[in-house]
Amino acid sequence: MPIRSALLAGLALAAALAAPARAAPDPLAPTGRIDAPPAAASPTPPMGWNPWNAFRTDVDEAKIRSSAEALVRTGLAAKGYRFVNIDDGWVLRRLADGRLQIRTSMFPSAATAPAATGSFRPFVGYIHRLGLKAGLYTDIGRNTCAQRWDNNKSPNHPIGSVAEREVGSYGHAAADMRTIFADWGFDYIKIDACGVADYGADSPVVRDGSYRAFPPLIRRGDVPGSDPAEVERLYADLGAAIRRWGGPNAVYSICDWGEADAAAWAPRHGNLWRTSPDIEFSWASMLANMDSALDGALYAGPGHWNDPDMLAIGHAPFDAAHLTEARAHFTMWAIMAAPLLLGFDLRHAPPALLDLVGNAEVIAVDQDAAGNQGVPYRSGATLAVVKRLAAPGARAVALLNRSDRPALARVDWRQLGLAPGSTARVRDLWARRDRTPARDAIALRLPPHGAALLRVTGRPAPGSDAYLDAMPARVTVAADGLSRQTALPLGRFAARIGMTPDDAPLPPGPDGAAHGIGLFANSRLALRAEGGFGRFVATPLVRPGGGAVTFRIYADRRLVAERRIAPGAPAPALEAAIGGAKVVELVAAADAPGDGRPPMVGWVGARLLR
């Protein structure tokens, strides 16, 4: 190095060492904004088709094109199934200059300029001409999931040297996203995480020399042993590149299976984020994946959706011979506002399954413009899930029998937020007919694994539509109060409607229902008020077992109310004039944060008033 360059480098290093370290942002400081992906990319949950469950990597362009054509021919595209997504297996190798080479034996239309890499432009153009959108797959690590888990089964692994077979986007985020979105024209990207989870030194495919070791950033089922901050950084970098090259309408699917404390950060970056391991073709797996997202209503809304994985419909026990289970599966994904991604061979789809996944009234529940995810009410083996719809006085209700025996499932007017003693119209969405009007409650006897999906329209109870329970899509969990050491296990959410994170119900309101939000102290909630409300009211609660907590309310970053509450002490309602604020933020700050789990708190009866 020349002397002058060395001197300048030394001065720069000395200055960097002397400069004070940049402090990490205070997670409790109000920002006056909602940190979530652009709602324009997915104002409602994405719908479409993915070949993985049908073909894994044994797929080719002809299968995908004919499946896209089937979406149009069957009318499913007109009902919202618009995305046609390529999954793992499409990359042949990574060239020495860092570019990705397409497997043209799988996609012959890609054998075009530039000759070294090929181009997906012809394929994407064909999908677009059908009126559909196209999606692609990669991984945040060096390698993909099929390279690890389908190592001896896949016909379409990358080829070449160890370096050439590193086709994941680690170290190539900006270049890969530019290629995929700007050069090839894709509309959607699914980004897996096996590359940072399954290539440790003890992995069989590392031990045999097939791939380089990558110290795991995700240890499955072990948040303390994982590195959530680094996993978030990698996904955030990819997200920034996606927005740069794909624009605000590009859809970003985060697939880290709910690991690495994903609930705390993934909704800030992805338009959909996996809450579970891959779905398997069994009733137990469907229930487990459902449970992974069921309590996450405060983490979903326009632009960011909980994703319990693709639909297993079309595969036993959710095929045409098991329509009861298939309807139950589809019912629960619809009521949870989950993405609806089909994964069976549409070229040979039985009419009964096409009718099931094409039920426009059920799809409308999933795609409702309010963007609320349903709120669950459990009772033994049965489950009622209530979703507030955009139409005044309209609610969707899913009733599910999880068990192998017939069971009576029930929902009442308190859970629905309807006026006591009032009569409501009831529409059976699977039967496509109106039922007898109901009063005060609805009870249905369900067969084993049975489900019902109803649209109930009635007179709201006074004030019921003002509770945050009724508008979870307006809530963003900006800080959840947990650390890497105290994170909750998979499928558990720090912020819950009507209860604290340990399932203890909040105190009931005047109607006998437990309204409000329970979570941990050292937390911040951001409410998308959009200037439509004048007051916020809630009663602060600190559960015994911790120190005092200070509750603060901000309206567009302006402190409008504050109160310190001792654990277990009764507290009067905290009311704040929010003056038509666009963003209202609720902060609960513990006196002594410490290293342990912060105390549990509640914003009891939390409501936005006009």
Catalytic residue numbers? 192, 278
Backbone angles phi, psi at 504, to 5 degrees: -80, 125
DSSP 306-342: EE--S--TTSTTSSTT-HHHHHHHHHHHHHTT--EEE
Cis peptide before 570 (omega within 30 of 0): no
Backbone angles phi, psi at 383, to 5 degrees: -145, 135
Selection from 587, 525, 583 nearest residue 553 by Cα: 587
In the three-class reduction of DSSP (H, G, I as helix; E, B as strand; rest coil), residue 346 is classed as helix
DSSP 207-258: HTTSS-----S-BTTBSTTS-HHHHHHHHHHHHHHHHHHH-TT-EEEEESTT
Element (H, E) at 285: helix 283-294
Locate 198 and state its tokens. 């399954």
Cis peptide before 308 (omega within 30 of 0): no
For residues 591, 593, 594, 595, the Cα torsion angle rounded to the nearest 10 degrees is: 160
Can you give the C-alpha Rg of the chain in angstroms?
25
CA distance 112 to 125: 14
Q: Are 117 and 130 in contact (CB under 8 A)?
A: no
CA distance 386 to 571: 30
Instruction: Characterise 549 by phi-psi region: left (phi > 0), alpha (psi -120 to 50), beta (else).
Output: beta
DSSP letter at 513 equals -
Residues 6 or more apart in contact with residue 430 via CB below 8 angstroms? 327, 331, 359, 362, 452, 453
Q: Which residue is listed with tokens 């409308």?
A: 364
